[in-house]
Amino acid sequence: ETGVTQTPRHLVMGMTNKKSLKCEQHLGHNAMYWYKQSAKKPLELMFVYNFKEQTENNSVPSRFSPECPNSSHLFLHLHTLQPEDSALYLCASSQGARGRGADTQYFGPGTRLTVL
């Protein structure tokens, strides 16, 4: 596997379910990100991890819970979601904040989440 992978690609869940999204990067990067993309809106940054430490939480509701066990893996745990949380959830990775120049992010294919 190369690049950034995400599983599952599609997920349908009820509001009372608990599920997790998984992201894995094979690029040797030190930073990982979760984004939410809703229709016709910019990508919204949710969480940032640099060297396994969470460095950003953009006022995301607590029903979204990230976990970064190591610099290659990132999870997003979901519980008691709302229908308005239905969106494309994208994971990305980059060299990280300790580098120089543009910290280009590389994205996974995303998980299309539908909350019923």
Question: Site residues (CB under 8 A) for another protein?
Answer: 4, 6, 33, 40-43, 45, 48, 56, 90-92, 94, 97, 99, 101-110
Q: How far is the CB of 34 from another protein (least distance, A)?
A: 12
Closer by beta carbon to another protein, 50 or else 64: 50
Q: How far is the CB of 41 from another protein (least distance, A)?
A: 6
Closer by beta carbon to another protein, 81 or else 91: 91
Closer by beta carbon to another protein, 25 or else 115: 25
Q: How far is the CB of 16 from another protein (least distance, A)?
A: 28
DSSP the chain: --SEEEE-SEEEE-TT-EEEEEEEE-S--SEEEEEEE-TTSPPEEEEEEETTEEEEE-S--TTEEEEEEETTEEEEEEES--GGG-EEEEEEEES-TTS-S----EE---EEEEE-
